[in-house]
């Protein structure tokens, strides 16, 4: 972390309308010594830090620019900065900046949660030659370590999100007992307060707050229904074959169409897999083209949405680009699509999702 002692001495001395001579007398040094501190030519002896801070009316932490925690607004600002850096300069540059910030703010649970999430969502900014299973797992392990540290911090603001992130990673490792223990550690809520707050806000005359909360609650319920249908389709495919699984995927897609939802890429990709299993290659490629179109046209601004105009998402163009690149790589590696590798329409889909990468 860069020391800014000289800048702070100059700033707080001027705020207190002190001259360099007055500060020098207060701490028992010569005026040229103070001048050297302020210009960065030298640093004060460690034994002088407390006297200098007292003379300036500040703490030693402020004098040293030490900040143990970041505010939520500062974390949000850093999140936007890091997203842009990953997108513009690639994963290595983004990771280097993340590590610098983690060293500067080692006790910030919010920053650790943010960096862990970025490591997961920005994998698509890795160069094609680095986008290997080993490298991806290495990065995901770093994210899991950060989630573990957030949980250990005991900060209630981030505990649940870190627990879910870590549980998802443990599940991907097939460490089922640990996954169950993590999920069991989450607070159990008998009554969802989101069902009561709208009534409270309406009674208080806060109609806009009630509307925002109802929109967010409805959106989350729809996502939960979609996820349940997807999981049922997967179970059905294993037990009953592909017909019922396709029917359940179709229900999820119709639900998304009814509520004008954007994120239906999972259902489109999975239904393409099911169609390939039935030998319906042309229909599968049709579905994959729809999948690519949805990813390319994905909307993060819901301000003109007929149902969810108050929703907002922390999704940058860089994150969307990373997601598309990862999607292209996943399509190419999906066993069900292996027969399509030389199919021109399939190659066009990959090129549209990752136009500048040699997958």
Reported as a pLDDT band with limits 50, 70 and 90, residue 208 is very high
Reported as a pLDDT band with limits 50, 70 and 90, residue 337 is very high
Contacts from 17-23 at CB under 8 Å and sequence distance 24+?
18/55, 18/56, 23/52, 23/55, 23/56
Kindly list the distances between the CA atom of residue 226 and the CA atoms of 232, 255, 257, in Å, as whole numbers in the listed order: 10, 8, 12
> Rounded to whole angstroms, how far apart are CA atoms 144 and 163?
10
Q: How far is CA 162 from the centre of its chain?
A: 11
pLDDT at 68 over 60: no
> Rounded to whole angstroms, how far apart are CA atoms 120 and 139?
8
Per-residue pLDDT at 3: 59
Per-residue pLDDT at 1: 44
Cα angle 281, 284, 288; round to 5: 140
Percent of the chain with pLDDT over 90: 57
pLDDT at 2 over 50: no
pLDDT at 311 over 90: no
Per-residue pLDDT at 188: 80
Q: In the numeric block, which tokens belong to residue 355?
A: 């136009």
pLDDT at 16 over 80: yes
Each residue of 117-168: pLDDT tens digit? Answer: 999 989 888 887 887 889 999 999 999 999 999 998 888 889 999 999 999 9
* C-beta neighbour count of 321 within 10 angstroms: 19
Per-residue pLDDT at 333: 87
Is 12:22 a contact under the CB 8 Å cutoff? no
> Rounded to whole angstroms, how far apart are CA atoms 145 and 165?
11
Reported as a pLDDT band with limits 50, 70 and 90, residue 277 is very high
pLDDT at 92 over 60: yes
Among 338, 331, 229, 330, smallest CA distance to 277 is for: 338
> Rounded to whole angstroms, how far apart are CA atoms 108 and 119?
17
pLDDT at 176 over 70: yes
Is 114:78 a contact under the CB 8 Å cutoff? yes
Tell me which of 96 and 300 has the higher pLDDT.
96
Per-residue pLDDT at 317: 74
Reported as a pLDDT band with limits 50, 70 and 90, residue 67 is low
Cα angle 30, 34, 36; round to 5: 110
- Sign of the Cα torsion 136, 139, 141, 147 reads negative
Q: What's the predicted TM-score (pTM) here?
A: 0.66
Per-residue pLDDT at 175: 94
Q: Mapped to the 3 state alphabet, what secondary structure does the chain carry?
A: CCCCHHHHHHHHHHHCCCCHHHHHHHHCCCHHHHHHHHHCCCCCCHHHHHHHHHHHCCCHHHHCCCCCCCCHHHHHHHHHHHHHHHHHHCHHHHHHHHHHHHHHCCCCHHHHHHHHHHHHHCHHHCCHHHCCHHHHHHHHHHHHHHHHHHHHHCCCCCHHHHHHHHHHHHHHCCCHHHHHHHHHCCCCCCCCHHHCHHHHHHHCCCHHHHHHHHHHHHHHHHHHHHHHHHHHHHHHHHHHCHHHHHHHHHHHHHHHHHCCCCCCHHHHHHHHHHHHHCCCHHHHHHHHHHHHHHHHCCCCECCCCCCCCCCECCCCHHHHHHHHHHHHHHHHHCHHHHHHCCCHHHHHHHHHHCCCCCC
pLDDT at 232 over 90: yes
Q: Among 174-188, 199-213, 301-315, which stretch is predicted with the lowest mean pLDDT?
A: 301-315
Reported as a pLDDT band with limits 50, 70 and 90, residue 65 is low
Overall average pLDDT of the 62-66 stretch? 73
Overall average pLDDT of the 326-334 stretch? 89
Reported as a pLDDT band with limits 50, 70 and 90, residue 91 is very high
Overall average pLDDT of the 216-229 stretch? 92
Reported as a pLDDT band with limits 50, 70 and 90, residue 26 is very high
Q: How far is CA 235 from the centre of its chain?
A: 29
Per-residue pLDDT at 66: 60
């Amino acid at each position: 972390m860069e020391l800014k002692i000289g800048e702070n001495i100059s700033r707080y001395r001027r705020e207190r309308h002190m001259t360099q001579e007055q500060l020098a007398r207060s701490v028992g040094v010569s005026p040229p010594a103070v001048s050297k501190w302020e210009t960065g030519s030298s640093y004060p002896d460690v034994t002088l830090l407390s006297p200098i801070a007292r003379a300036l009316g500040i703490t030693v932490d402020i004098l040293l620019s030490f900040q143990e925690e970041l505010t939520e607004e500062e974390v949000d600002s850093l999140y936007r900065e890091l997203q842009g850096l990953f997108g513009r300069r690639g994963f290595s540059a983004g990771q280097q900046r993340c590590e610098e910030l983690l060293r500067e703010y080692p006790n910030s649970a919010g920053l650790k949660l943010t960096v862990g999430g970025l490591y997961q969502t920005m994998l698509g900014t890795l160069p094609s030659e680095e986008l290997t299973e080993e490298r991806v797992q290495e990065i995901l392990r770093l994210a899991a370590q950060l989630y573990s540290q957030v949980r250990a911090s005991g900060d209630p603001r981030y505990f649940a999100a870190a627990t879910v992130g870590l549980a998802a990673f443990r599940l991907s490792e097939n460490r089922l007992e640990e996954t169950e223990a993590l999920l069991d550690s989450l607070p159990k809520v008998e009554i969802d307060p989101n069902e009561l707050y709208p009534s409270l806000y309406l009674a208080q005359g806060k109609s806009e707050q009630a509307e925002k909360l109802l929109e967010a609650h409805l959106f989350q319920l729809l996502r939960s229904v979609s996820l349940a249908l997807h999981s049922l389709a997967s179970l059905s495919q294993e037990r009953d074959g592909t017909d019922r699984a396709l029917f359940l995927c179709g229900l999820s897609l119709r639900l998304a169409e009814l509520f004008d939802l954007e994120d239906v890429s999972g259902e489109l990709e999975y239904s393409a897999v099911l169609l390939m299993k039935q030998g319906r290659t042309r229909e599968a490629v049709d579905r994959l083209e729809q999948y690519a179109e949805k990813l390319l046209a994905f909307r993060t601004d819901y301000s003109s949405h007929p149902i969810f105009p108050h929703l907002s998402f922390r999704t940058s163009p860089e994150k969307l680009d990373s997601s598309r690149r990862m999607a292209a790589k996943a399509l190419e590696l999906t066993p069900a699509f292996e027969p399509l590798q030389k199919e021109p329409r399939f190659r066009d889909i990959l090129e549209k999702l990752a136009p500048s990468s040699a997958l």
